[in-house]
């Protein structure tokens, strides 16, 4: 998928600061970090959003969750927020599913 930013980063066509590269999942640092640690965890397969991934490849979504925890274990003492913006009105700008792993310090905004 030539027009997808995340597919291009996975393919090495656009540089990415990778923190993890697995068979089905990769993770790289967000170019505009909103917290001391801000990593995007993504499946290699191009799927638009988290619900579509859950419906088509739940095992890959599970692999993303364990990857997010391992990143947090090494960078934030295991504590993190995991955000999937879904749809333009929710702030999704890249339509290849990506979980934002946010952490480091005490997060100031609590959605709950
Ligand atoms: P969304 O708004 O779709 O939930 O998240 C897209 C994220 O991709 C944003 O946080 C934005 O900072 C990040 N981003 C946009 N362009 C690039 C890029 O070229 N490289 C990296 N590493 N992140 C990017
Ligand atoms: Zn893609």
φ, ψ for residue 103, nearest 5 deg: -175, -175
- Tell me the CA–centroid distance for residue 64 and ligand 2, in Å: 15
pLDDT for 77 equals 97
Residue 89 DSSP label: G
Q: What's the average model confidence in pLDDT over 28-51? A: 98
CA distances from 31 to 18, 34, 62 (A): 11, 10, 25
* 16: pLDDT strictly greater than 90: yes
Q: Is 48 in the pocket of ligand 1 (CB under 6 A)?
A: no
The band of 91, judged by pLDDT with boundaries at 50, 70 and 90, is: very high
- Tell me the CA–centroid distance for residue 94 and ligand 1, in Å: 7
């Amino acid at each position: 998928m030539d027009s997808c930013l995340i597919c291009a980063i996975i393919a090495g066509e656009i540089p990415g600061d990778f923190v993890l590269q697995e068979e089905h999942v990769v993770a790289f640092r967000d170019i505009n970090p909103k917290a001391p640690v801000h990593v995007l965890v993504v499946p290699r397969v191009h799927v638009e959003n988290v619900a579509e991934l859950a419906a088509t490849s739940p095992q890959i979504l599970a692999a993303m969750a364990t990857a997010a925890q391992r990143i947090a274990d090494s960078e934030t003492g295991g504590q993190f927020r995991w955000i999937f913006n879904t749809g333009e009105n929710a702030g999704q700008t890249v339509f290849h599913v990506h979980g934002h792993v946010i952490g480091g310090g005490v997060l100031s905004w609590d959605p709950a």
